[in-house]
């Protein structure tokens, strides 16, 4: 898959390059990503992650809200099974460090 076609802007590429560096068992926030890429466009960061075609390879499940809430996963914020899956992935990773 050509990620440059999926994420054609320099902004989206910076977001993806940043999430790739999140280590297994670690989490970060949309605002932390924003700080790393020098942007306050936190919702836009979420929009980029929503388009992630490889959610286990590009670990967007490791990104949570600043208030600690789990946030969405796989482009959904209102479907419980996606959020449950995100929680399970984070739990598995945090215990497997």
Question: Structurally, what CATH architecture does the domain formed by 3-95 represent?
Answer: Orthogonal Bundle (1.10)
DSSP state of 37: T
- Every domain of the chain and the residues it spans: 3-95
pLDDT tens-digit series, residues 40-95 = 999 999 999 988 888 888 999 999 999 988 887 877 666 788 888 889 999 999 88
As a whole number of angstroms, the distance between CA 88 and CA 40 comes to 29
> What is the pLDDT at residue 48?
93
CB count within 10 Å of CB 70 equals 17
3 is catalytic: no
Selection from 55, 42, 41, 50 nearest residue 78 by Cα: 50
As a whole number of angstroms, the distance between CA 74 and CA 50 comes to 6
pLDDT tens-digit series, residues 3-39 = 788 889 999 999 999 999 999 989 999 999 999 999 9
> What is the pLDDT at residue 96?
64
Among residues 16, 60, 63, 90, the one annotated as catalytic is: 60
């Amino acid at each position: 898959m050509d990620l440059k076609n999926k994420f054609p802007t320099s902004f989206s590429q910076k977001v993806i390059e940043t999430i790739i560096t999140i280590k297994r068992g670690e989490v970060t926030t949309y605002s932390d990503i924003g700080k790393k890429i020098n942007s306050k466009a936190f919702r836009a960061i979420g929009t980029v992650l929503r388009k992630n075609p490889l959610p286990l390879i590009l670990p967007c499940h490791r990104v949570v809200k600043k208030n600690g809430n789990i946030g969405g996963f796989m482009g959904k914020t209102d479907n419980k099974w996606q959020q449950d899956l995100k929680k399970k992935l984070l739990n598995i990773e945090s215990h497997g460090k």
